[in-house]
Structure 1
Amino acid sequence: MTVEITGDEQSAQEVLFKIKQWDHAICRMNIEEIIQLCAKDVTLFDVGSQLEGVMSYQEMWERYRPYFHDNIRVYRREIKVYAQPNLAFLRCYSKVDKIEIEQDNQVPWCRTTLCFEKLDGKWKVVHQHISMPVDFHTQKAVMLHF
């Protein structure tokens, strides 16, 4: 996994630590912990939805709960962090998949952006954007391969 940092190194390292906490909370489907890492006015642009506010964000994770099983992990590739002392964003390719990935696994990679703001001394997610490229002729997702 490669990580490239532009800007304030200390802030970038703090954000990378928050991403580890974020990924760990997702793998355990600890929705309370996920929400604690977010600002109250967090927004999300997702592959299939758009929402605003921490309560809507929590409801979305509750809907996702049945699809998350034991032995999963968040995979990230080509992480780039742009950081200033109070504002940062991270972009990468990511997916949630089984810990032991099988060769024929078809879980797609998504393009991911997480925006952070330092609020009361703590980094909080203020915006998340997840997308997948689409072939406009077939209207189907394009699988990213690495």
Structure 2
Amino acid sequence: MPTQREIDEAKIRQQVDKIVEGLRDKDLEGLKRLYATDVVSFDVEPPLQHVGIEAKLKNWANAFAFFQDLTYEVRDLTFTVGDDVAFGHCFGRLSGTLKNGTATSGMWVRATFCFRKIDGNWLIAHDQVSVPLDMASGKGVVDLEP
């Protein structure tokens, strides 16, 4: 019989699967159900932080505006789960076909998710997406693969 932690981790992994589905389907309403209303996101786009569900959804809407179709791939997803908070990390890659018809394989990023159990549902309270920094040039390194 699975422990409560195993059950919770399975539910959290399902939430990440729903992110992948929501991005593929360009489903802002579906994505909205995955985030806490007060989510704080440190995404790759400026500004330094995006606060609240509307700011997070605006980032996804911006991505949808660039892509005709898109996919999001997750690798090496790992979680640590507590009673009402959990955190995890993975590598993620957004790719697809741009509106102008150009296919792009995207770039691999590092992603961190922090979940809170709110009214029995695991919701993303914080996420962070980043790329490594080349110290000498001051530029992000976007050609690495996991």
Establish whether residue 13 from structure 1 lines up as the match of residue 10 from structure 2: yes
Structure 1 vs Structure 2: percent identity of aligned residues? 25
1:8/1:85 contact within 8 Å kept: yes
- Paired residues, what number? 134
Residue of structure 2 equivalent to 1:89: 87
Q: Which is bigger in relative contact order (C-alpha 8 A, separation at least 6)? A: 1
RMSD of aligned C-alpha atoms? 1.9
Residue in structure 2 matched with residue 145 of structure 1 by the alignment? 145
Q: TM-score, normalised by structure 1?
A: 0.83
Aligned equivalent of 2:35, options 32, 35, 38: 38
For 2:75 and 2:58, how far apart are their aligned partners in 1? 28
| Deviation for aligned residue 1:141 | 2.2
The normalised TM-score by structure 2 is 0.83
Give the corresponding residue for 1:133: 132
Deviations 1:14-68 (A, max 9, x none): 1001111111001111111111111110110012331111122222222222122
Match of 1:4 in 2: none
Following TM superposition, by how much is the alpha carbon of 1:106 offset from its aligned partner in structure 2, in angstroms?
5.3
SS at match of 2:68: coil
> Is the counterpart of residue 118 in structure 1 residue 117 in structure 2?
yes
Displacement of 1:69 in angstroms is 2.3
- Corresponding residue for residue 60 of structure 1: 59
**Contact 2:39-2:52 within 8 A present in 1 as well:** yes
| Mapped contact 2:95–2:107 kept (Cα < 8 A) | no
Q: Which runs of 4+ in 1 moved over 6 A?
A: none
Q: For 1:84 and 1:65, how far apart are their aligned partners in 2?
A: 34
Q: Residues of 2 paired with 1:28 and 1:132: CA distance?
A: 25
* Corresponding residue SS for 1:112: strand
For 1:76 and 1:46, locate their aligned partners in 2 and report how far apart those are by CA, in whole Å.
Answer: 16
Q: What secondary structure, in the 3-state scheme, does the structure 1 residue paired with 2:72 have? A: strand
Question: What is the aligned partner in structure 2 of residue 76 from structure 1?
Answer: 74
Distance 1:145 1:46 in 2: 19
**Structure 2: unaligned runs, 5 residues or longer:** 98-103
Give the gaps of 5 or more residues in structure 1.
1-6, 100-104
